[in-house]
Structure 1
Amino acid sequence: MAQSPSIPKGTRDYSPEIMVKRNYIFDTIKSVFKLYGYMPLETPAMENLSTLMGKYGDEGDKLLFKILNSGNFIADISDETLLDRNIPQLTHKISEKGLRYDLTVPFARFVVQHQSEIAFPFKRYQIQPVWRADRPQKGRYREFYQCDVDVVGSDSLLNEVELVQIVNEVYKRLKINVRLLINNRKILAGIANIIGYPDKLTDITVAIDKMDKIGREAVNQELRERGIDEEGIAKLQPILDLKGSNEEKLAQLQTVLNESETGLKGIEELSLVFDYLKTLNISIDIKLDLTLARGLSYYTGAIFEVKALDAEIGSITGGGRYDDLTGIFGLKNVSGVGISFGADRIFDVMNQLDLFPADTKATTQILFVNFGTKEEKFCLSLLQSLRQQGINAELYPDAAKMKKQMTYADKKGIPFVALVGENEIQSGTVALKNMQTGEQENVKVEELAHKIC
């Protein structure tokens, strides 16, 4: 007996009905990106491992999908190396490429590679899949789409303000109630310095970034395992527990970090962003969250994360400022900032909360029933006319039984069915059936488009 086909864990098939909904998300996000002057870009699914490795921290590197070299990739590997089972060393010899982990590092590579062809500041959006060898679970996939928007070549904090506006507009249009969490890596660097561990910023940020997932005690235990002593952990607790408004927290941090030049710079940057936002009509809730760290090591300034308030799921958007991402590819002093919308999690939230518009359930607005050759010829001209007016229309391809054709329309969620027989051809009318109400009326051919719209 043949084995039933399957797909890898952490991946999903997208049926036509689901794709209609996903395209609604993509189209909505893309329309907002365009409003702010961002241009489209695509990069290859696979990159050289030399491009990807070392950009996401140790944990991120472990989640990269590596691609085996083509041909006999172990031909030049000695038996001693194989038996040694040194995975990093062996991987380096048998794999030169990997699937992209995100869209930001490939974007940085593109900017460096094509720097003479583009105008700075360079604003681009990119909507493509990424891959991570993570453990599949609710809301976490191995293959998923990101909708990224970035600007490089500008240090201005107006770019951070613009990203907040984009987040606000996207979720207003999608009707998702969200909270935007914001922090600054310079503040985190200042905190690491104040508690006595300036050289362990990455260890500290990786741990506290898990606060909402594993809780305070588990985070503290991880800090111990990463070499932070009890005195350092104790100094950290009151900082993470700061209360009050965003402005009040920043004022308290001003005192706590008064001996950290880097920390004070982060406070200054966030204060300016909040001052700009006060002048704008921003409807989403914005909260300064000092536990927000975002584990990716390339962030250097403001960091963002968006949570859906009415659904239990991880962050649905995240990003931040990176001052030297292009520098690792040889292009120094080109700062960038960007944010990524997680399309798959957004889809899950909208599906759970039933937020998709009703008209996304069908791509076809009217189906013509097929009664035979004569009727087919008459309907084809009507179809052409409707399509020229922007109405999605189709003719059932076979003169099958009426029940079969009506079932087809029902399963596809087609709102109108047109019945055109001998009498309708002679009178120049169409018997139009509303599939939702069950009502049927005779409509003149020239009025058909108006009735459907």
Structure 2
Amino acid sequence: MATKPGIPKGTRDFSPVEMAKRNYIFNTISDVFRLYGFQQIETPAMENLSTLMGKYGDEGDKLLFKVLNSGDCMSGISDADLKECTPNQFAAKLCEKGLRYDLTVPFARFVVMHRNEINFPFKRYQIQPVWRADRPQKGRYREFYQCDADVVGSDSLLNEVELLQLIDEVFSRLKVRVSIRLNNRKILSGIAEIIGAPEKIVDITVAIDKLDKIGLENVNEELRSKEIPEVAIEALQPIIMLQGSNEEKIETLRKVLSASEIGMKGVDELSFILDKLKRNPLRSELELDLTLARGLNYYTGAIMEVKALDVPMGSITGGGRYDNLTGVFGMPGVSGVGISFGADRIFDVLNQLELYPADSLLTTQVMFVNFGETESDCCLEYLSRLRSAGIRAELYPEAAKMKKQMGYADSKGIAYVALVGETEMAEGKINLKNMHTGEQVLLTPEEVIAHIK
């Protein structure tokens, strides 16, 4: 008995209709990327583990899919090794490669390897799948696509301004109402400094980044579990719960962080970005949110995250500045900033809100009915003419019963069926049936093209 087929948890198949919807998202994002001057690249699905490890923090490293070495990967592994090795040590002996966790670290590796071929500032975009050994749940997959745009070789904050405008443009085109949240890692470092726990910056950011998921009390419990002093936790409360307009929050931060040089630099950076956006306001809601931390360790400046307003869903876009990323690959001093659209979550949002335009499905527009060899030869000529005019057309491959052929057209959502029998062939015309109204009209091939267009 054959084994019932299946796919790994956290992965999905996509039907033709779903692929049409996904391509609508990819094409919309790509169009905006190019509009802002970004150029496309691709990198391999697999990277050396030495490239990936240590770039995402301890939690991120645990979620890396590791690939067993080719051939007899167990050769040289003793029974003692099997008993004594920790899982990470064992993986280090058996695995040299891993599936990429995101597109940013591979991009930093790309920049270092191709530095002599790149003109800086380099604006790249990349749309490819990534993999994370996460627990699958609603809106969270083990295999999913990211759509990234990054600028490297420039420390100008105008790049952050443009990326926020780019985000706004994409979601305006997709007709999704979103809230864009903005913060700065320098501000978080300043907060850790003034509450007397600068060495705990990573623990603090990882914990407060979970505020909207687990609530304030659980965040405080996590901070205590990391041995952060109670006095520091107490000092943190009014800061992470800060209320008011963006301008009011900036003014409060200037007072609270006045004793922290790095904190004040972060405030100045955010103030610059907000000032530039006042001159060209976004259509989307923009909120300065001090609880936004983004757990990835490589962010050093502005950080941003996007959530849909009308669908309960996690972050659908995120990003920030990462001044130090290429330095770990031997190329210090190259500043970078980037964003990543979560295409799979955006796909789920558009599905729930039914926001796909009717013409985004791009199904066949006209199907020719097959009455037999003589008629199909004539239809092939007409098909060529319609396709040359940009009309998506097909011929049913067999002279099956009419009911079967019409059922096929109906199941594919084809708008028109073309009937060419002996009478139509004699007149050089096509009997065109509208599948929605049932109306039939006798037209020349040129009139069919004009009618459908």
Shared fold per TM-score greater than 0.5: yes
Residue 364 (structure 2) pairs with residue 364 (structure 1): yes
Residue 228 (structure 2) pairs with residue 222 (structure 1): no
What is the TM-score when the length of structure 2 is the normalising length?
Answer: 0.99
After superposition, give the CA deviation of every residue in 1:183-229 in whole Å (9 maximum; x if it has no partner). 00000000111111101111000011111111111111111111112
After superposition, give the CA deviation of every residue in 1:288-336 in whole Å (9 maximum; x if it has no partner). 0000000000000000100000001101000000001000000011000
Q: How does 1:134-213 map to 2 (within 5 A)?
A: 134-213=134-213
Give the SS at the match of 1:105. Answer: helix
Kept in 2: contact 1:430–1:443 (CA 8 A): yes
Cα distance, 1:362 vs structure 2: 4.1
**Paired residue for 2:304?**
304
Give the SS at the match of 2:286. Answer: strand
**Paired residue for 1:408?**
408
Kept in 2: contact 1:129–1:143 (CA 8 A): yes
**Paired residue for 1:250?**
250
**Paired residue for 1:328?**
328
**Paired residue for 1:264?**
264
d(CA) in 2 for partners of 1:109 and 1:18?
33
After superposition, give the CA deviation of every residue in 1:15-69 in whole Å (9 maximum; x if it has no partner). 1110011000000000000001100000000000000000000000000000011
Partner letter of residue 331 of structure 2? L
**Paired residue for 1:128?**
128
Q: How does 1:408-447 map to 2 (within 5 A)?
A: 408-447=408-447
Kept in 2: contact 1:67–1:99 (CA 8 A): yes
**Paired residue for 2:238?**
238
Q: How does 1:57-68 map to 2 (within 5 A)?
A: 57-68=57-68
Cα distance, 1:78 vs structure 2: 2.1
Partner letter of residue 6 of structure 1? G
Cα distance, 1:444 vs structure 2: 2.1
Q: How does 1:344-383 map to 2 (within 5 A)?
A: 344-383=344-383
Q: CA RMSD in A?
A: 0.8
d(CA) in 1 for partners of 2:283 and 2:70?
52
Partner letter of residue 196 of structure 1? G
Segments of structure 1 that go 5 or more residues without pairing to the other structure are none
d(CA) in 2 for partners of 1:199 and 1:3?
54
After superposition, give the CA deviation of every residue in 1:396-433 in whole Å (9 maximum; x if it has no partner). 11111111111111111111111111111111221111
d(CA) in 1 for partners of 2:164 and 2:88?
40
**Paired residue for 1:10?**
10
d(CA) in 2 for partners of 1:325 and 1:239?
29
Cα distance, 1:267 vs structure 2: 0.3
**Paired residue for 1:73?**
73
Give the SS at the match of 2:320. Answer: strand
What is the TM-score when the length of structure 1 is the normalising length?
Answer: 0.99
Kept in 2: contact 1:367–1:416 (CA 8 A): yes
**Paired residue for 2:295?**
295
d(CA) in 1 for partners of 2:344 and 2:173?
17
Partner letter of residue 152 of structure 1? V
After superposition, give the CA deviation of every residue in 1:132-185 in whole Å (9 maximum; x if it has no partner). 000000000000000000000000000000101110110011000001000000
d(CA) in 2 for partners of 1:56 and 1:182?
20
d(CA) in 2 for partners of 1:223 and 1:156?
34
Kept in 2: contact 1:361–1:413 (CA 8 A): no
Cα distance, 1:359 vs structure 2: 1.8
d(CA) in 2 for partners of 1:128 and 1:73?
29
d(CA) in 1 for partners of 2:197 and 2:442?
79
Cα distance, 1:281 vs structure 2: 4.0
Partner letter of residue 230 of structure 1? E
Residue 284 (structure 2) pairs with residue 284 (structure 1): yes
Partner letter of residue 420 of structure 2? V
d(CA) in 2 for partners of 1:190 and 1:220?
19
- Number of equivalent positions: 453
Partner letter of residue 230 of structure 2? E
d(CA) in 2 for partners of 1:229 and 1:407?
70
Q: Which moved more, 1:146-155 or 1:442-451?
A: 442-451
Partner letter of residue 439 of structure 2? E
d(CA) in 1 for partners of 2:241 and 2:335?
31
Partner letter of residue 240 of structure 2? L
**Paired residue for 2:23?**
23
Kept in 2: contact 1:362–1:414 (CA 8 A): no
**Paired residue for 2:390?**
390
Give the SS at the match of 2:380. Answer: helix
After superposition, give the CA deviation of every residue in 1:311-369 in whole Å (9 maximum; x if it has no partner). 01101000000001000000011000000000000000000000001123342111111
Give the SS at the match of 2:155. Answer: coil
Residue 44 (structure 2) pairs with residue 40 (structure 1): no
Partner letter of residue 233 of structure 2? I
d(CA) in 2 for partners of 1:361 and 1:241?
44
d(CA) in 1 for partners of 2:337 and 2:363?
37
d(CA) in 2 for partners of 1:362 and 1:446?
22
Cα distance, 1:390 vs structure 2: 1.0
Indicate how the Cα distance of structure 1 residues 281 and 374 shifts in structure 2: closer, same or farther if over 3 A, else same: farther
Give the SS at the match of 1:119. Answer: coil
d(CA) in 2 for partners of 1:399 and 1:66?
52
d(CA) in 2 for partners of 1:279 and 1:418?
55
Give the SS at the match of 1:146. Answer: strand
Fraction of identical pairs, as percent: 67
